[in-house]
Amino acid sequence: MENILKFRTRSLVSKDNEGLEEDLIKKSIKGDYDSFGDLIKIHKDYLYKMAFVYVKDRDKSLDILQECIYIAFKSIKKLKEPKYFKTWITRILINIAIRTLEKDSKLVYLEDDNHLINKSTKSTKSTKSTKSNMEEKLDLYNAINMLKKEYRLVVIMKYFNDMTSDEISKTLNIPESTVKTQLTRAKNKLKSILKEGYLDD
């Protein structure tokens, strides 16, 4: 498994070419190792960022990514719809990240991300010291850590990974209405904890 990230490099026409990506997925399902390697190259940065948001540790993020790729390669033949590849592999990575957190019994330390900070809040506090800003962000992260696991999960996916409610719904295999309800409750809980509006609507 230690060499699973070392795929043969091949020139891709375009990472944004959906037709090419779908072709790579279909070949990967049939067991084409090189096509799977090219497919991972397209999504590797996204998957690493997702892992890092959860564990806030470079080495652990790489371990999670490596395990995700290994499991995905072994089980991709079970993927019935190529268009859902990203949703499918994201779900694999999230499950590994959650298991890692539970195993380590640690809080989730979230990556600094401007999507969570209200623009008006940033402008009115621009004159404060760096120390004060850092304290505010740490308060925000600690508040997110206090949320129920399912609320924390949708907040991370929505505000740290720019996923839509529909994408979150498909990834977590829950109704979109449930996603929206959890986001609303999570934001209300955070505002209650922080006593001011940090989250964008």
Directed axis angle between helix 85-104 and helix 165-172, to 10°?
70
One-letter amino acid identity for 164?
Answer: T
Cα–Cα dist 30/112, whole Å? 39
- Asked whether the predicted pLDDT for residue 65 surpasses 60, the reply is yes
- Asked whether the predicted pLDDT for residue 24 surpasses 50, the reply is yes
The tens digit of pLDDT for each residue in 70-105 reads 999 999 999 988 888 988 999 899 889 888 877 765
Cα–Cα dist 167/21, whole Å? 18
Query: Whole-angstrom distance between the N-terminal and C-terminal Cα of the chain?
Result: 42
Cα–Cα dist 98/51, whole Å? 10
Quote the tokens at residue 97: 């990240």
Position 146 scores a pLDDT of 79
- Asked whether the predicted pLDDT for residue 11 surpasses 50, the reply is no
Cα–Cα dist 64/1, whole Å? 12
- Asked whether the predicted pLDDT for residue 181 surpasses 60, the reply is yes
Cα–Cα dist 100/89, whole Å? 17
Q: Which is more confident, 2 or 176?
A: 176
Domains of the chain plus CATH, in order, are 18-104 (1.10.1740.10), 114-194 (1.10.10.10)
DSSP string, 45-105: HHHHHHHHHHH--HHHHHHHHHHHHHHHHHHGGG---GGGHHHHHHHHHHHHHHHHHHHHT
Position 199 scores a pLDDT of 53
The tens digit of pLDDT for each residue in 112-146 reads 444 444 433 444 444 444 445 545 555 666 777 77
- Asked whether the predicted pLDDT for residue 111 surpasses 50, the reply is no
Directed axis angle between helix 130-145 and helix 176-194, to 10°?
130
Position 57 scores a pLDDT of 87
